[in-house]
Chain A
Amino acid sequence: MSPVERLAERHHLRWWESLPWVAALAAFFLFPNHLAFGTQLLITILFALSLDLVLGYAGIITLGHAAFFGAGAYAVGMLAQHAGWNEPLSGLVAAALVAGAIGLASGLVLLRTHGLTLLMLTLCTMALLEESANMAHHYTGGFDGMPGLTFQPIAGAFAFDVLYFRPQYLYVLAVLFGCFLLARMLVHSSFGQSLTGIRENILRMHAVGAPVRARLVIVYTISAAMAGVAGGLFTQANAYVNLSTLGLERSAGVLIMLILGGHGRLYGAFVGAVAYMMLEHFLARAYPTAWQLGVGLMLILVALYARNGILGFFKQKTA
């Protein structure tokens, strides 16, 4: 195949791209008692996918992505608690708008910087939001968060099930699928190509006349909105929200997942989140006090032998 044909066909769907979705649907029928875990996994994949847009494609280094996850989670929680707005789909729209607005406002300031300065400022943004949520306990429940939230049935028909998570699982899977299609369209577009250019060589992108900062702010805002949707799903599926949605642990965790799976590949978010959460799930059962040791060892192995993550490792082996 010629280079022109290869480039022209890159955005075409491949047969293997259906595998994660088939596996997710199969898991619904095969593991009915683990759907709560599966729902958390799907939410985390969506969160990792949002991070991949900024980190993997645009090269924006961030340690504060949980700021947007938390913003979406609290937006849905506060609307349900204080405004009685507990319709799920419109709640997700609100989560996306709130997180996107915070992403836009912070991105306009943060993305003037790069490197370690940017890294620290993303961390500061998240810490500011976390502390604000902690201090505004009248509205957010402070340290205890907001437990026992109730939501209307999804699309007016499927009630949330806090015991078996069956509706939640399919609902989250559907939202993830929609967001994935959006992310896929974005990264294969000319806009996505220009983001890759910015990641590869920002100096050259300036020299070809690209409005570099505007592009970065746009993708940062989209990514923040997507992380907000993930946060909103977290609140709806679990019927609570607390400060853990805004913490460094969540930001660092999703970053590790992306590194594990392989960033800048879309499906790295899937592989990384599954690998990390399965490892965490089973290790925590076997070694409740030392499970992080296993995750640490796996990270070391990836750093030593698979610099581009699990997907990068397999691609290298099959090339």
Chain B
Amino acid sequence: MAVLLETQNLCKSFGALEVAREVSFRLERGARHALIGPNGAGKTTIVNLLTGVLQPSRGRVLLEGEDVTALAQAKRVKRGIARTFQINQLFRGLSVLENVCIAVAERLGAGGSWLRPAGSRADVIGEAWRLLEMLKLGSDAGRRVAELPYGRQRLVEIAIALGLSPRVLLLDEPAAGIPSAESHILLDAIATLPPDIAVLIVEHDMDLVFRFARRIIVMVSGAIFAEGTPAEIAANREVRSVYLGSALDA
């Protein structure tokens, strides 16, 4: 299958501290990958390098074969790389619908328009509403985000990312802070993602990872430690000893 996103020998250092070392992997169209590893392994750093929040010390990021390493975050978003955050980054004082409208408006190029009222953009509002319905957030559309339970806010994060109509979606610990009894809501939401977009999920919840991912990358100390199918990773003794054993037993 065609490679959508590729990293080549990605390295990132903060002074003497190497947080990413020679990280190379590929995401094909429709990929469902998970990036796992102990705290401090460099998973969020990889997401930040892919989205342009951080510039790598060395290495390249390719999107459909084109080098996007030097592109700013906003330009990468326009090319189809969207993300969610480990800690919710929402417009807390605005309604759920407005949160998604802002993302959709940016994608449709309406965000800089002064002359036309935002409320008259039926295309923007209609698409935002459709996404909220898809994620079963329609009943909360008029509520301020700050008033929502945390789990619902995580879904708004995903709705905003989907509003950008991404080709590559990076979900940074989407289940963080959600009670395990409610994680099925998230799984349902992930299951509804369009099949042609590539999804990379960074997650500690192994139940969610093994139910979602078709391929798993294990990072330890800034480097890729192992990569394979869920069955291969679960059977890997070394992975079990450095990370998975404790996570699976938990």
Contact = CB atoms under 8 A, between A and B. Distances in A.
A interacts with B: yes
Interface of A: 2-4, 6-12, 185-186, 188-194, 196-197, 200-201, 203-212, 215
B228 interface: no
B158 interface: no
Given A8-B122, A197-B102, 15 more contacts: A7-B101, A8-B125, A9-B119, A10-B118, A11-B118, A12-B119, A185-B115, A185-B117, A190-B111, A190-B121, A193-B111, A197-B91, A197-B94, A200-B94, A201-B91
A3 B145 CA distance: 13
30 contacts: A4-B125, A4-B129, A4-B141, A6-B142, A7-B101, A7-B118, A7-B125, A10-B118, A11-B118, A185-B115, A188-B118, A189-B115, A189-B118, A190-B110, A190-B118, A190-B124, A193-B102, A197-B94, A201-B91, A203-B85, A204-B90, A204-B160, A205-B102, A206-B74, A208-B102, A208-B160, A208-B164, A209-B73, A209-B106, A215-B111
A2 B133 CA distance: 14
A255 B76 CA distance: 38
B211 interface: no
Nearest to B143: A3
A191 B117 CA distance: 9
Contacts of B102: 193-194, 197, 205, 208
Nearest to B78: A209
Contacts of A190: 105, 110-113, 116, 118, 121, 124
A2 B142 contact: yes
B33 interface: no
Nearest to A194: B111
A3 B99 CA distance: 12
A173 B83 CA distance: 48
For chain B, the bracket of interface size reads: 35 or more
Interface in B51-89: 51, 53, 73-78, 82-83, 85, 89
A196 B91 contact: yes
Contacts of A186: 114
A52 B155 CA distance: 33
Contacts of A215: 111-112
B106 A210 contact: yes
Which one of B93, B94, B110, B112 has the greatest number of beta carbons of chain A within 10 Å? Answer: B112
A188 B119 contact: yes
Nearest to B104: A208
A211 B77 CA distance: 11
A190 B78 CA distance: 18
Given A194-B106, A204-B89, A10 B111 contact: no
B175 interface: no
Contact of A211 (B74, B117, B120): B74
Per CB-CB distance, the 4 closest pairs between chain A and chain B, nearest first, are A209-B77, A3-B142, A11-B117, A200-B91
Interface string B120-152: 111011000100000000000110000000000
Nearest to B109: A190
B92 A201 contact: yes
A8 B141 contact: no
Contacts of B107: 208-209
A15 to B, nearest CB: 18
A208 B119 contact: no
Contact of B117 (A4, A189, A203, A209): A189
A266 to B, nearest CB: 14
A200 B92 contact: yes
Interface in B206-239: none
Contacts of A200: 91-94
Contact of B85 (A10, A194, A207): A207
A207 B112 contact: no
Contacts of A203: 85, 89
Contact of B113 (A11, A191, A207, A208): A191
A110 to B, nearest CB: 20
A210 B119 contact: no
Nearest to B145: A200
A316 to B, nearest CB: 14
B97 interface: yes
B27 interface: no
B95 interface: yes
Contacts of B116: 189-190
Contacts of B125: 4, 7-8
A201 B103 CA distance: 13
Contacts of A7: 95, 97-98, 101, 118-119, 125
B111 A210 contact: yes
Contacts of B142: 2-3, 6
A210 to B, nearest CB: 5
A241 to B, nearest CB: 31
B129 A196 contact: no
Contacts of A209: 73-78, 106-107, 164
Contacts of B160: 204, 208
A192 to B, nearest CB: 7
Which one of B53, B97, B114 has the greatest number of beta carbons of chain A within 10 Å? Answer: B114
